[in-house]
Copies of this chain bind each other. A is one copy, B any other.
Amino acid sequence: MRNAAEAGTGVQSVDRALSILEVLARTGEGGVTEIAAELGVHKSTAFRLVATLESHRLVEQTGDRGRYRLGVGILRLAGATTARLDLVQEARPICRQLAADTGETVNVAVLSDGSALYLDQVAGSSALQPHNWVGQHIPLHATSNGKVLLSGLADHELDAALGTLSTYTEHTITRRAKLRDELARVRDQGYALAVDELEVGLTAVAAPVRNAHGDVVASMSVSGPSFRLGAERLDHVVALTVSSAAEVSHRLGWGHR
């Protein structure tokens, strides 16, 4: 199966090495033989590539039986990536404050390749830390962040961005017409909600972050268990989220006459 080899042009061995990273990202872990089969190369070739990746700590062995998985070098590179993004830089202190004020987890996401890419996360003070979403691609129609990001698109862009609207729970919006109505409401009220739409028991609030031109460049969300985000508390959280997102927007140059 010729999968990620679409990047046909380029330096062959580098291309293959990077494909290995993608394979490991997809499968979690794998042995040399398995990887070699996936790429369609000899196992000695795969071994040499993996060894090179390992010397840079981008992959590591899982102790038992010499299987490989992605390593800490990736995280270090990711840290450098987000550290450079001025969006994350500007947003971080405000996210911290928002997380402290609400006690819930705060996320920042942007639109990337038809799904929401989470750039940063600040854990709330509450116990159960949700797993880290950073770097994950999340469906757009079933999350508050996704709705906010979609609400910033023009109609024709919207069609391009949306694939099929998968069902996650019985509250997931799966009809396009209904989604359009929802997006209009989001645009109107300046924030989005998602209650039990991606996962039962999970509630999230998101508000848009705008650049100097007024475009929606990112979305900031607060999410937590639905029982902690009931009706009365939700209003307060919404207000905090909207003003935090507006503050970040200001720092990015929005609203300066």
Contact B256 A131 (CB under 8 A): no
Stretch at the interface among A12-20, A193-201, A231-239: A12-20
The residue that A53 contacts in the complex, of B14, B110, B119, with Cβ under 8 A, is B14
Contact of A21 among B69, B77, B127 (CB under 8 A): B77
- Closest chain B CB from A122 CB (angstroms): 8
Contact of A26 among B63, B74, B80, B100 (CB under 8 A): B80
Task: Report the separation of the CA atoms of residues A78 and B49 in the bound assembly, to the nearest whole angstrom.
Answer: 20
How many identical chains are in the complex? 2
CA distance A82 to B9 in the complex (A): 30
- Measured between beta carbons, the chain B residues less than 8 angstroms from A21 are 77
A84 and B69 contact, Cβ closer than 8 Å, known pairs A17-B11, A52-B10: yes
- Stretch of A34-42, A168-176, A179-187, A247-255 lying at the B interface: A247-255
Cβ contact within 8 Å between A76 and B18: no
Q: Is the CB of B7 within 8 A of A117?
A: no
